[in-house]
Structure 1
Amino acid sequence: HVVPGFIREDLLKQGNVIMFTLTVEDEEMHKQRFYYRCRQPWVKRSLEHYMENFETIRKTQEFMIDQAKIHDAHIINNVDIRNTIDLMVNAIIEEFGGEKDVGKESISDNDN
């Protein structure tokens, strides 16, 4: 996790950075994510660890949302991975343009 506001200002000013903060608004859905995660063989922490710290995890999420608002990051309620990816891709296209714009920039860059 990278908290908005903790990224160096010089990196943000380069013009090729878009910040996204993914959240899980619904508490029960958030808990379900940990149930699923803890069934994965690569997870080192127990479900009990996450459940014992769930209130702190939620407070951390709220802090990240607050920071995202302050630093104009896109906030996405990550309910469905496909929808989340679509929202992110659309934000990137809106910010930087689509495929047709890339071709135009390449042509004008070569002319200089």
Structure 2
Amino acid sequence: MKKRTAIPVNPEGEPRLTRAQAWKGLELKARDACLFLVPGLCTRCEVVEESATHLVREATIRGYDLREIVTLEPESKVAFFQAAGPRKGVTVNELFEDEEGALQLCFYSMPCAT
């Protein structure tokens, strides 16, 4: 079962981002988890392989060594498949417009079936 959490990309009173700008942030997150977590939580994150549609990164988060395959759907979705580490599954970050046309960022995770 997946739990979805959506937040506005452009909350009231904050500088407005375009979809392309929000996407650049997701690309940066795909490359370096350390920039998006509480300081000290991620002590290492490096891309060890990449293509036009995916990258493989190795990281140490909360003291656990992880290997993730990250797929990229330009200006739409980033999926982080944890291939090695304490939990197997996928976490997705997805950009979309709500009913009023406001840009949203949705987060959800799905564990692998065992």
TM-score (norm 2): 0.28
- Structure with greater helix percent: 1
- Kindly name which structure, 1 or 2, has the bigger radius of gyration based on alpha carbons: 1
- Structure with greater strand percent: 2
Which structure exhibits the higher relative contact order, with contacts defined as CA atoms closer than 8 Å and separated by 6 or more residues? 1
